[in-house]
Amino acid sequence: MKRLYLIEARYYVMAEDRIEARHIIPDSISASIIFVSEVDKVDADWLDAIPYGGDNDKVCGEIIQEIPG
């Protein structure tokens, strides 16, 4: 059974300001440090979003509600 995970990528860029820095993406995700953690809650902005890799149309909020407490 698939579970919901949070993936955070960290990389460093050189830029003139925050706006420019936000738009710089590494050529390869392997150029980043990747952090993975299983979650039982999501940020409010993601409650109505379908997670990447989902097998159906369930949104994050629905998936969280189905996690046994």
Q: Are 67 and 43 in contact (CB under 8 A)?
A: no
Q: Which two tokens stand for residue 4?
A: 């919901």
| pTM of this prediction exceeds 0.75 | yes
Q: Angle at CA 36, nearest 5°, toward 17 and 8?
A: 10
- Look up residue 16 and give its DSSP letter: S
The answer on pLDDT for 65 being more than 80 is yes
Q: Which two tokens stand for residue 49?
A: 């979003």
Q: Are 35 and 10 in contact (CB under 8 A)?
A: yes
The answer on pLDDT for 68 being more than 90 is no
Q: How is the chain split into domains, by residue range?
A: 5-65
Task: Give the pLDDT confidence of 2-56 residue by residue, as tens digits.
Answer: 999 999 999 999 999 999 999 998 888 788 999 999 999 999 999 999 999 998 9
Q: Are 15 and 24 in contact (CB under 8 A)?
A: yes
